[in-house]
Chains A and B, each alone.
Chain A
């Protein structure tokens, strides 16, 4: 069937909301996550971590720890490969410090013992002799004149001479000539905005179980967003061949980007290899917060020019993101993303990566975008108010559409930004009257979405049911979405399909569950794998009937003779063909592998109402609406889940969450009591409106939905708090003391 027909047809399974296949396991406690497996002879690991933000490691004395009964082995950096380069070298440097501890919590040694208690006791007996070095943890301080230079060797060639030596990467994009654009403006507004570091906050700490045998073969069970990536990186760090390391992804208790890399997995493998025993390594929460994640803190400077009628004439942005003590901040992202929703003639966007003595920045849902949009969407909203134009109308006036060349370069195909803005404007939320101390905020967001390398296999059983095998860990219900797409293509019941996430030895390569790619790319491969099986089914039917395979078509789960042979033979069902397959040519399987482009860009508009207590400065979200273009919602419950979850993570980022470093460079809030993520009583219901503007790059029109949802909330909530207080909110988090100070300052200055 031609693609355009596919998109307009009525679906039988897609768009319905069946129960997920892993549901029973997950509500009964049977599902096996990273820490839920055991192996005979298994040891328990523990990691020794630096208490210093920056220090030379002069010596490591393990003798007392080794003497403790039950301790089987201790590893340091000496147990890892020495020929690692590039990104993997940075990962190795983060996984286990070499000569320098680069942040509070940096791993310096690891122990395996017969129990977790003994391993933890032994960790305290390792004597590390440090020589503390000057440190810097704040992004503004890091590029001040007297800041210690952390790692000059990491500066990339495109950073111009004369830049501060803690700036390791520079990215630039744009179009037109901003001087001309600002010259045409009636109103110009420029502001600085700051956001603090935050953690992804998945509830499952990193956990794994490794076993390396003396013949050099290894097995690894771990909680990850991408076990093929884990296999590749771990093999490199351990000096193994990838094929000799089989990695199995456990059920995963959240990742949000930070489980796309490795932290403890190579350490567990090194311990196991040295001890010749299986080793289980599980982080505690404090280790998770001190040494994994986090997302960058940021400092953005944004300037926009507008005509009196609200037309944007020019935009300029400088986005500075800190990557921790590593050259990895996603600073290109805000430069590309912030003004992508608008049709602007003149724009210049710069992204800078800045080094500090903090943990290695890890991806967090649309990495780099929310903090940049926190700046850009506040400037847009403030200018709308200043010009007396409705904020949604102003965005509609400048909205990108099919044919618009984005600030970041590409020209859009069909996109749904305008549809999300129109739906938000028409939503009852937007006309609900506000009371005293309440304010309303709007913000839009754009995310590229991603395709990525993908392999999918399906196998037909003799009874006509289907085993579908994917290689992307299921974090939010993707097995249900894949089964729905397979059911739609094969025209068999959803319940007849069982989806399995295969280990690295059982399927071809798959990129991570990341980049909002799974429903798009794995969905596409699922459809094509099923189509390959259908082609074979039609061939078998043709053989039965003695006609050409091209003269058979697949309709409603049956092989049907067509063309000149139409009506000559009774249609054969999938079940009938499956029952005979081993005698009509052998097993029938479908496989598809590709790295698809064509992931349709995602757009969203968020509306939020906030009430601010003028006596305490506490902000409470009282109403929230997410409008998102999903292209086509395969399982709407799990699309809404992404919309709601992203919005609430954004609310936490906006109002509560922050990394708090002391003057000593140590992280001060390393448990959930002090690093406060949103709880149920903080929130209202999160209303969802799914828009479906089909993505031309997918047979069913799917666009990714996982990341776009976290892009607008920081700005939307800030716009609402600004409206409620009359004070523009330029710093996150908008904690009660900060908001209260703003209110008091405004009152004292009249």
Chain B
């Protein structure tokens, strides 16, 4: 199949890429753009390790084709920190030891950020259901939940 040229915005920068119509957006981000922070844990939209924002909407990038990103705005884990300043969620995940192996962490942060932008004061239950699409096999979720709740509280103070 002939490759196509796609024009997007990635983490604020204009980015063009060429891809096969069968390639997932995740494969494009990783293999063509060098953005390996988004991870493939399943390739079927079950684990959330490839979570990104596409035109402001939380999606699994393994379930989006690269060609579908034409004209769209993409935000990945690499764009979450501002300059040298980590996002509060990133700080709190480290502070609460909300990671062990860390492979799910980028997806957790992208997904949690999407929640807090919509709902700055989630209950623990709301947070647990929101993150139900992000699998973590190491932590049992306890410290992740505590970290995100603490980050939410911190962000509310700032706001």
Contacts and interface: CB of A to CB of B under 8 A. Distances in A.
A38 B31 CA distance: 8
Contacts of B105: 26-27
Interface in B113-159: 125, 127-129, 131-146
A680 B126 CA distance: 10
For chain B, which range describes its interface: under 10, 10 to 19, 20 to 34, or 35 or more residues?
A: 35 or more
Contacts of B142: 640, 644, 683, 685-686
A398 B105 CA distance: 43
A645 B97 CA distance: 12
Interface in A452-496: 475-477
B43 A284 contact: yes
Question: Chain B CB within 10 Å — which of A22, A27, A251, A672 has the most?
Answer: A27
B20 A29 contact: no
Given A117-B20, A203-B39, A685-B142, A33 B81 contact: no
Contacts of B77: 28-29
Interface string B74-118: 001110110000100110011111011111111001000000000
Given A27-B105, A28-B77, A641 B143 contact: yes
Interface string A326-354: 00000000000000000000000000000
B35 interface: yes
B66 to A, nearest CB: 12
B103 to A, nearest CB: 3
A27 B44 contact: no
Contacts of B144: 680
SS class, residues of chain B in contact with chain A: loop
Given A27-B94, A683-B128, A254 B138 contact: yes
Contact of B39 (A17, A33, A673): A33
Nearest to B125: A681
A640 B47 CA distance: 24
B7 interface: no
B40 A648 contact: no
Contacts of A255: 101
A117 B101 contact: no
B46 interface: yes
A222 to B, nearest CB: 15
Contacts of B109: 27
Interface residues of A, number: 59
Given A203-B136, A476-B138, A638 B40 contact: no
A16 to B, nearest CB: 12
A23 interface: yes
A477 B100 contact: yes
Nearest to B97: A637
A401 interface: no
A688 B129 CA distance: 23
B42 interface: yes
Contact of B40 (A35, A252, A640): A35
B134 A680 contact: yes
A645 B100 contact: yes
A596 B141 CA distance: 34
Given A28-B81, A203-B41, A671-B46, A685 B102 contact: no
B38 interface: yes
Question: Chain B CB within 10 Å — which of A22, A254, A686 has the most?
Answer: A254
Interface string A625-657: 000000000000110110011011100000000
Interface in A204-246: 204-205
B55 interface: no
Nearest to A646: B140
Contacts of B86: 24, 27-28
Contacts of A117: 20, 22-23
A677 B137 contact: yes
A19 interface: yes
Contacts of A201: 137
B49 interface: yes
A256 B106 CA distance: 21
Nearest to B146: A685
A282 B30 CA distance: 13
Contacts of B139: 641, 644-645, 648
A205 to B, nearest CB: 7
Given A29-B106, A644-B140, A672 B128 contact: no
Contacts of A648: 139-141
B36 A645 contact: no
Contacts of A679: 131-133, 135
B145 A645 contact: no
Given A32-B36, A671-B42, A679-B135, A27 B141 contact: no
Contacts of A637: 96-97, 143
A20 interface: yes
Contact of A27 (B38, B42, B99): B99
Contacts of A202: 101, 103, 137
Contacts of A678: 140-141
A116 interface: yes
A30 interface: yes
Contacts of B35: 29
Question: Chain A CB within 10 Å — which of B77, B104, B127, B136 has the most?
Answer: B136
Contact of A475 (B78, B100, B143): B100
Interface string A1-39: 000000000000000010110111011111111011010
Contact of A254 (B80, B101, B127, B132): B101
A28 B113 CA distance: 13
A28 B132 contact: no
Nearest to A673: B46
30 contacts: A24-B90, A27-B86, A29-B106, A31-B102, A35-B30, A38-B31, A38-B34, A115-B20, A116-B31, A200-B137, A203-B135, A205-B40, A253-B39, A282-B40, A475-B100, A640-B143, A645-B137, A645-B138, A647-B140, A648-B139, A671-B42, A672-B135, A679-B133, A680-B131, A680-B136, A680-B141, A680-B145, A683-B128, A686-B140, A686-B142
Interface of B: 20, 22-23, 27, 30-31, 34-44, 46-47, 49, 76-78, 80-81, 86, 89-90, 93-97, 99-106, 109, 125, 127-129, 131-146
Given A253-B104, A686-B142, 7 more contacts: A27-B99, A29-B77, A203-B135, A203-B136, A285-B41, A648-B140, A678-B141
Ordered nearest first, which 6 A-B pairs have the shortest CB separation? Answer: A29-B37, A253-B103, A648-B140, A26-B102, A637-B97, A672-B46
